[in-house]
Amino acid sequence: MTTVTEAPPEPPAEAGKPAARRRPRGRFVPYWLLLPGILWLVVFFALPMLYQASTSVQTGSLTEGYEVTWHFATYWDAIGEYWPQFLRSVQYAGTATVLCLLLGYPLAYLIAFKAGRWRSLVLILVIAPFFTSFLIRTLAWKTILADGGPVVGALNTLHVLDVTSWLGMTEGDRVLATPLAVVCGLTYNFLPFMVLPLYTSLERIDPRLHEAAGDLYARPFTTFRKVTFRLSMPGVVSGTLLTFIPASGDYINSQLLGSTNEKMIGNVIQSQFLTVLDYPTAAALSFILMAAILLIVTFYIRRSGTEDLV
């Protein structure tokens, strides 16, 4: 028990050694296997959370140092000052998640049931964008949505921009530097995280169930609503979580595609931490975000009744 070497799952025992004598050593095997990784997560994931909790109730200044004074007012001040950014994050992330579901479901359905021998190719095309740095791809949206460009022109001709203006998503003839651009960027960036779990759960569905529904005189849409969609619920739940969670903390899309009016909570945490250097406020904001996400996730998983996600 003194050497902390990374043992292979089952320590090599000399051949012929009776199994009964190996047992007591084998009992500790799982703990040795877990130790290095779990230690890593405890020190660099769990412990930082505690540090952050303690930082959020400290007062002081950068020059004079901080100390813990249980100053919970930081939380109220942070919420009071930054609630619009919180609200905006939930709105943008929520809209992007719904859009991802609407766009991603047909694609996942296509791959699972209609692609035939093209299936692997389409799957590769879904994953392929990952291989170009996502920041470069997000910058490409600046070109695509440029003022006076073909996309904005088409949206204008089709009066889509009138609708989005009415919804408060765009202003005038622009898309860049509006909420629509940020939501578009979020939708684009997290769409594969929706498509892949959806595809996995759709692929498991036995196609004979569709035939059975058809034999029982269900119309195609009824079949979809009562059979396919119900059975794909695990995919819908994990897809929406995998989209909503990272989207709500994202600050890249709002920074690159939005203006100062589209700042999300991620932008605030980032600037408080790295520019303003107001650590207690930044820690409090980050803690509130974490608590909100955990609450939403727990509630959502309970509601949808799929607890065996992981």
Choose between 52 and 156: whose C-beta lies nearer to other proteins. 52
Stretch touching other proteins by CB under 8 A, among 78-86, 162-170, 208-216, 287-295: 287-295
Nearer to other proteins, 168 or 291 (CB): 291
**Residues 176 and 147 sit within 8 Å (Cβ to Cβ):** yes
Measured CA to CA, the distance from residue 75 to residue 127 in angstroms comes to 40
3-class SS at 13? Answer: coil
Fill in the amino acid letter for 85: Q
Closer to other proteins by Cβ: residue 179 or 266: 266
- Smallest distance from the beta carbon of 247 to other proteins, in angstroms? 9
**Rounded least distance, CB 75 to other proteins, Å:** 15
Residues 121-160 that bind other proteins (CB under 8 A): 122, 124-144, 146
Point out which span in 76-84, 105-113, 205-213, 229-237 binds other proteins (CB under 8 A). Answer: 105-113
Q: Is the distance from CB of 82 to CB of 285 less than 8 angstroms?
A: yes
Q: Which residue has the tokens 């202003």?
A: 171
| Tokens 């929706």 found at | 194
Q: Supply the DSSP string of 87-143, one letter for each residue.
A: HHHHHHHHHHHHHHHHHHHHHHHIIIII-GGGHHHHHHHHHGGGGS-HHHHHHHHHH
Angle at 99 between CA 94 and CA 104, to 5 degrees: 125
Count Cα neighbours of 73 within 13 Å in the Cβ-side half-sphere: 3
Please give the Cα distance from 146 to 120 (Å, whole number): 34
Q: What is the DSSP-derived secondary structure letter of residue 276?
A: I
Report yes or no: 141 and 184 within 8 Å, Cβ to Cβ.
yes
Task: Lay out the site mask for other proteins across 192-211 (x = CB under 8 A, - = otherwise).
Answer: x--x----------------
Nearer Cβ to other proteins (171/246): 246
Q: Give min distance, CB of 170 to other proteins, in A.
A: 18
Residue with tokens 């996995």: 200
Q: Long-range contacts: 298-307, Cβ < 8 Å, 24+?
A: 300/237, 300/240, 300/241, 301/237, 301/241, 304/233, 304/237, 306/233, 306/234, 306/237, 306/238
- Taking CB under 8 A as the criterion, the residue among 88, 180, 269, 281 binding other proteins is 269
The answer to whether 70 touches 58, Cβ cutoff 8 Å, is: no
Q: Judged by CB under 8 A, which of 218, 227, 231, 293 binds other proteins?
A: 293
Indicate the residue among 41 and 158 with the shorter CB distance to other proteins.
41
Residue count, binding to other proteins (CB under 8 A): 91
**241 near other proteins (CB under 8 A):** yes
- Nearest approach, Cβ of residue 29 and other proteins (Å): 7
Helix/strand/coil for 154: helix
Q: Which stretch binds other proteins (CB under 8 A): 74-82, 165-173, 208-216, 274-282?
A: 274-282
Binding other proteins (rule: CB under 8 A), the pick from 1, 15, 20, 216 is 15
Q: Is 297 in the site for other proteins (CB under 8 A)?
A: yes
Of 76-84, 158-166, 210-218, 276-284: span binding other proteins (CB under 8 A): 276-284
Within residues 25-64, the interface with other proteins by CB under 8 A covers 29-31, 33-34, 36-38, 40-42, 44-49, 51-52, 55
Q: Does 75 bind other proteins (CB under 8 A)?
A: no
In whole angstroms, the minimum distance from the beta carbon of 156 to other proteins comes to 19
Lookup: tokens for 41: 């997560």
